[in-house]
Amino acid sequence: MDRVGFDSDKYLKIQSEKISERIKMFDNKLYLEFGGKIFDDYHASRVLPGFRPDNKIRLLQQFKDDLEVIFCINASDIEKSKIRSDYGISYELELIRLIEKLQELGILINSVVVTMYNEGNNISHLKKILKERKIKMYIHKPTEGYPDNVDLIVSEDGYGKNPYIETTKKLVVVTAPGPNSGKLGTCLSQLYHEYKKGVKAGYAKFETFPVWNLSLLDPVNIAYEAATADLKDVNMIDPFHLEAYGEYAVNYNRDISTFPILKNILMKITGEEIYKSPTDMGVNMIKQCIIDQDVVKQASIDEIIRRYYNTLCDYKQKICDETVVEQAKSLMDKLELSLSDREVARVANEKAKQKGVNVLAIKLNDGRIVTGKESKILSCASAAFLNAIKEITGIPDKEYLLSPAVLDGIYKMKQKTSYDTSYFLDLPEVLIALSICSVTNPIIERAIEELGNLRGCDAHSSYIIDKGEINALKNLGISLTCEPIM
C-alpha cells in the first residue's frame, strides 16, 4: 500500500475552522471566491497522497446549512462552446453538471451569473436550461472604468449597474466551471451592493495551490506551475506580504499583479484596509496537514515529470506551442529532474526497444511493474491491463482472462467491419468483452471486482496511444504518460 503524506481529516477540521474565523471577521457574511475543481481534484490527490479527491465537496458540506453557491460563466465561453480539455465537455455543460451534483448533495444553488456580457452574445440555450431548473440567471456586463478608474468602478455607473443578487446565507461561495469566469468581479459587485445596504460583508479567496507557506522551490508548488504551464501562471514571492510582515509567502503572478487594483477597490467600497497582501486574502491550510514531507516531495516530483511528458505529447500533436514546452522544461531544470527519473517510463521504453514493438508498462501500488506488448490481437494498453489485473488478483499467468477463441472472434469481426488497418482490440473493447464474459466466468468476475486496486497506479506507453484508450485508463484511475512518438 502507498504511504500517506497528507491528513485529510485534519485538513477538513482546520480548513473549516479557518473559513469560520474569516466569516466572523465581517458582518457574519462572507463571499468566498472558490477556485479549482470542486469535485474530483485528482491533481491534489496525486501531489498530496492522502488528499481525498472529494475533499472540497466534503468541506462545503460542513457548511451546508449556512451556505449558498453562485456560479459564474463568461458569456464568450458560452457562445464559443469553449471546451474543458480535462473533461472534453463545454463550460456550459460542465456548469450544469456541477449544479446538478451539488443539488443532489443538498447544497443550495443561488443563481448563475453570465459575466462580460455584450449585446449580441447568444446565451439563449443556457437561459432556457436554467429556467427549466428554476435557477435564477443574472447578467453582468463589462464594468465601466475597470481596471484603472476606481472612482468609476465603485459607483452607480460601475458595479452599481450590475443587478444585486439577493443572498440569505452567511457563506456565499462564488465559483465557476473554469478559469477567467468573472468570480472576483462578481464578489466585488456584491460587496458594493451589500455596503450600500449597510451590510459589512467580506471577501476571501480559497485556492488549494500554490501553498503560500511552502517555499517557492518546494516540489508541491512547482507541480502547480507545471499543471498550469499553458495558462502562463508563475509562482512568485508575494512582495506585499514581505513588506507588510517581513515574512516570505508564495502566491502566483496574476494575484500579485492585480492586488494593487483590488486593494484600492476594497478600500473604496469598505473605507478601510482589510488586506495588506494577496496572501492575506487566502484561507489555505494545506501545509499544516502534510504529515510526511518525503512522501509528498516524491509524489510532487512524479507529477512534474508526468506534466512534462504530457506537454511534449501536446506539442507533438500541435495542441500547444513551444513556449509551453519551454516553461515545463524550466520547471524540470529547477529541481534537476530528467525523464529517465520516471521508473515506469524506463521499463516501458527498454522493453519496447528489446521487443521492437509498442509497449505499455503499469506500476502497481505495491511497486511491481507489469508490461504488455502490442500483438496481432491486442493493443499494448489492453495487454498491460490484462496482465496487471491478473497480477493483482493472483490469477496464474498461464490462465486466460479472455480465451483465445473469444479474442479471435472479436478480431475477425473487426477485420470485416472496420475501415481501420489496425484490427487489434483496444482497451475499451477489452473492458466490454470482460464485462460480458464475467456473467458466466467467476474468475473474470473476481478480476473485475479488483479494478479499484488500479486506481492511483502509474503507466507509460512507448508511443502516443489513441484518445479512447487514454480515457479508459483515466477512468480506471491510472496516471498515464506517453513517449512523444506517433
Give the per-residue pLDDT at 178.
Answer: 85
Reported as a single tens digit per residue, the pLDDT across 22-35 is: 999 998 899 999 98
Give the dihedral of Cα atoms 462, 464, 470, 473; nearest 10 deg.
0
To the nearest whole percent, how much of the chain has pLDDT over 90?
A: 77
pLDDT at 357 over 70: yes
Give the per-residue pLDDT at 458.
Answer: 96
Reported as a single tens digit per residue, the pLDDT across 100-143 is: 999 999 999 999 999 999 987 888 889 999 999 999 999 999 99
Indicate whether this model's pTM tops 0.85.
yes
Give the per-residue pLDDT at 443.
Answer: 85
Give the per-residue pLDDT at 197.
Answer: 95
Reported as a single tens digit per residue, the pLDDT across 463-472 is: 999 999 999 9
CA distance 408 to 454: 27
Fold held by 8-208+253-289: dip2346 fold like (3.10.630)
Reported as a single tens digit per residue, the pLDDT across 266-312 is: 999 999 999 999 999 999 999 999 999 999 999 999 999 999 999 99
At 86, is the secondary structure helix, strand, or coil? coil
Give the per-residue pLDDT at 20.
Answer: 97
Taking CA atoms, 304 is separated from 211, 227, 336, 481, in Å, by 16, 8, 11, 12
Of the candidates 222, 196, 200, the residue with the CA atom closest to the CA atom of residue 211? 222
CATH 3.10.630.10 residue ranges of the chain are 8-208+253-289
pLDDT at 264 over 80: yes
Higher pLDDT: 64 or 89? It is: 64
Residue 387 pLDDT level (bands cut at 50, 70, 90): very high
Angle, CA 403 vertex, CA 397 and CA 408 arms, to 5°: 125
CA distance 57 to 107: 10
Instruction: Render 269-324 in DSSP notation, one character per residue.
Output: HHSS---SSHHHHB----GGGB--HHHHHHHHHHHHHHHHHHHHHHHHTTSS-HHH
CA distance 293 to 435: 41
CA distance 9 to 428: 36
Cis, bond preceding 210 (omega within 30 deg of 0): yes
Give the per-residue pLDDT at 249.
Answer: 98
CA distance 143 to 146: 6
Strand order in the sheet with 171-175: 136-139, 108-115, 67-74, 171-175, 30-34, 202-206
Lowest mean pLDDT among 11-15, 180-184, 359-363: 180-184
pLDDT at 77 over 60: yes
CA distance 174 to 466: 37
Reported as a single tens digit per residue, the pLDDT across 405-458 is: 777 777 677 666 665 556 678 899 889 888 888 888 888 888 889 899 999 999
User: Which helix (H) or strand (E) element contains residue 260?
Assistant: helix 253-270
Compute the mean pLDDT over every residue in the chain, rounded to the nearest whole number.
92
Reported as a single tens digit per residue, the pLDDT across 24-64 is: 999 889 999 998 889 889 999 999 999 999 999 999 999 99
* Assigned CATH class of 342-482: alpha beta
Q: Which residues contact 271 (CB under 8 A, 6 or more apart)?
A: none
Average pLDDT (152-156) is 97
CATH 3.40.140.40 residue ranges of the chain are 342-482
pLDDT at 248 over 60: yes
pLDDT at 2 over 70: no
Give the per-residue pLDDT at 138.
Answer: 97
How far, in whole angstroms, is CA 406 from its chain's centroid?
39
Which three cell numbers mark 107? 447544497
At 338, is the secondary structure helix, strand, or coil? coil
Q: Could you tell me if 461 and 342 are in contact, meaning their C-beta atoms sit under 8 angstroms apart? A: no
Cell 449597510, residue?
198
Phi, psi of 73 (to 5 degrees): -150, 135
Most distant CA pair in the chain, distance: 78
To the nearest whole percent, how much of the chain has pLDDT over 70?
A: 94
Higher pLDDT: 239 or 413? It is: 239
Residue 84 pLDDT level (bands cut at 50, 70, 90): low
Reported as a single tens digit per residue, the pLDDT across 319-355 is: 999 999 999 999 999 999 999 999 999 999 999 999 9
For the chain, how many helices (H) and strands (E)?
20, 14
